[in-house]
Amino acid sequence: CRSLVSVEVHLHPDEARHALHAEALTGLCHRPKELSPKWLYDERGSQLFDDITRLPEYYPTRREREILLEHAHEVARLSGADTLIELGSGTSEKTRLLLGALRRTGRLRRFIPFDVSEHFLRRAAATLARDYPGLRVHAVVGDFERHLAYLPREGRRLVAFLGGTIGNFKPAARARFFQEVAHSLAPGDGLLLGTDLIKDRSRLFAAYNDSAGVTAEFNRNVLHVLNRELGANFDVNAFAHLAPFDEEQGWIEMRLISQRPQWVHLPALRRSAHFDAGEVLRTEVSCKFRPQQVESELFAAGLHLAAGWTDRARDFALSLAFK
Ligand code: AVJ
């Protein structure tokens, strides 16, 4: 029998390495020094993030699952979709809630996981094809900031962007991203968006500064990535983790703080970077939203909110919008 799994690659490993070089170069010259959060997710980083999702303080994953458990069937019904596209498919359990609900409408035909990691995609695609007989799984390897135009065009599509990952975009990049999603959708296609909501500051803080120190390990792991990929010599233990909430920007900001003055050598970039004592390297922003803000930002991109749900604690929101 013919396999129902296929893989399409738009982002090759050498290209990803080149992007890391370029971004590290600009980011380490930037004031404050800054790195893109996508470099947090090598194999160990992905494992650490998985551990984070089970921490008592880290509520977003549980809240989003709670919303999906309760409302996936409405999402499926309202979307009328036969094709589920998942951007950044790091969430196979939530994927299954959506696939199950779509299958029960009797329309589901295709699942298109879209992710930067070919290795991860191949594994996930094979498992899902096995567990959903008849489902065509077409994995697309790409960067959702650059390759959305390559998304397959056939079928009535529902694009899911879950987990609050949209929070990693700063406002300008977020507006660009919504516009690109809108551009790649046809009338009737939908976007299902997960956003973390503004809440009590102490709970926000605790979620990103957990007492077991897993988030700190996750954050510092990016220095291991730079050591390996750029031949750098970061002294990982000379950087402390802190993730405060920036009231003005409305985002949690993950920082690595140099504990002493130090030089770091980056042979692959042919340069060295100096860190003052107390100097900050920003590794991620994670924006927190008001529900009204999500609706108006989607609207500005030409996407119309059809329904929105939150969990009982109003910690997290799922929004369903159509073009
Ligand atoms: C995967 C981007 C949604 O912002 O909450 C978790 C990543 N960073 N703890 C988030 C993260 C620190 C997470 N996202």
Q: How far is the CA of 271 from the centre of ligand 1 (A)?
A: 30
* pLDDT exceeds cutoff 90 at 323: yes
In this prediction the pTM is 0.96
Ligand 1 atom 10 nearest Cα: 286
DSSP sequence for 253-290:
EEEEEESS-EEEEEGGGTEEEEE-TT-EEEEEEEE-B-
| Half-sphere CA count of 177, side-chain side, radius 13 A | 19
For residue 164, the ligand 1 atom closest to its alpha carbon is: 3
For residues 11-36, average pLDDT: 92
Q: How far is the CA of 286 from the centre of ligand 1 (A)?
A: 7
Give the Cα separation of 49 and 214 in Å (integer).
Answer: 8
**Average pLDDT of the chain, as a whole number:** 95
Give the Cα separation of 44 and 222 in Å (integer).
Answer: 10
Taking residue 118's Cβ as centre, other Cβ atoms within 10 Å add up to 17
Q: How far is the CA of 33 from the centre of ligand 1 (A)?
A: 19
Q: What are the pLDDT digits (tens) for 258-280?
A: 999 999 999 999 999 999 999 99
For residues 202-222, average pLDDT: 98
Q: How far is the CA of 255 from the centre of ligand 1 (A)?
A: 13
pLDDT recorded at residue 110? 96
Q: What are the pLDDT digits (tens) for 276-310?
A: 999 999 999 999 999 999 999 999 999 999 999 99
pLDDT recorded at residue 11? 87
Q: What are the pLDDT digits (tens) for 118-136?
A: 888 888 898 999 999 999 9
Q: What are the pLDDT digits (tens) for 103-117?
A: 999 999 999 999 988
Structural element, H or E, at residue 131: helix 118-131
Here the tokens at position 151 are: 């998304």
Q: What are the pLDDT digits (tens) for 138-171?
A: 999 998 888 899 899 999 999 999 999 999 999 9
Here the tokens at position 257 are: 């703080």
DSSP sequence for 29-76:
HSSSEE--GGGG-SHHHHHHHHHHTTSSS--HHHHHHHHHHHHHHHHH
Place of tokens 């939530």: 94
Pick from 48, 49, 63, 251 the residue to mutate for probing ligand 1's pocket: most ligand atoms within 8 Å of its CB: 49
Give the Cα separation of 174 and 144 in Å (integer).
Answer: 12
Which residues surround ligand 1 with Cβ inside 6 Å? Answer: 52, 60, 163-165, 167-168, 208, 215, 254, 284, 286
Q: What are the pLDDT digits (tens) for 161-197?
A: 999 999 999 999 999 999 999 999 999 999 999 999 9
pLDDT recorded at residue 91? 57
Taking residue 26's Cβ as centre, other Cβ atoms within 10 Å add up to 11
- ipTM above threshold 0.90: yes
pLDDT recorded at residue 2? 55
Percent of the chain surpassing pLDDT 90: 85
Q: Quick one: which of 166, 82, 118 has its CA closest to 6?
A: 118
Q: How far is the CA of 165 from the centre of ligand 1 (A)?
A: 7
* pLDDT exceeds cutoff 80 at 89: no
Radius of gyration of the chain (CA): 20
* DSSP 3-state of 20: helix
pLDDT recorded at residue 16? 86
Q: Quick one: which of 56, 96, 50, 97 has its CA closest to 74?
A: 97
Contact 295, 176 (CB under 8 A): no
Give the Cα separation of 185 and 160 in Å (integer).
Answer: 12
For residue 60, the ligand 1 atom closest to its alpha carbon is: 5
Taken in order 233, 237, 243, 249, the sign of the CA dihedral is negative
- Cβ-count burial of 153 within 10 angstroms (0-12 exposed, 13-18 middle, 19+ buried)? exposed
Taken in order 199, 93, 177, 31, the sign of the CA dihedral is positive
Contact 136, 118 (CB under 8 A): no
CA dist 95 → 42, 65, 136, 245 (Å) = 21, 10, 15, 30
Q: How far is the CA of 36 from the centre of ligand 1 (A)?
A: 13
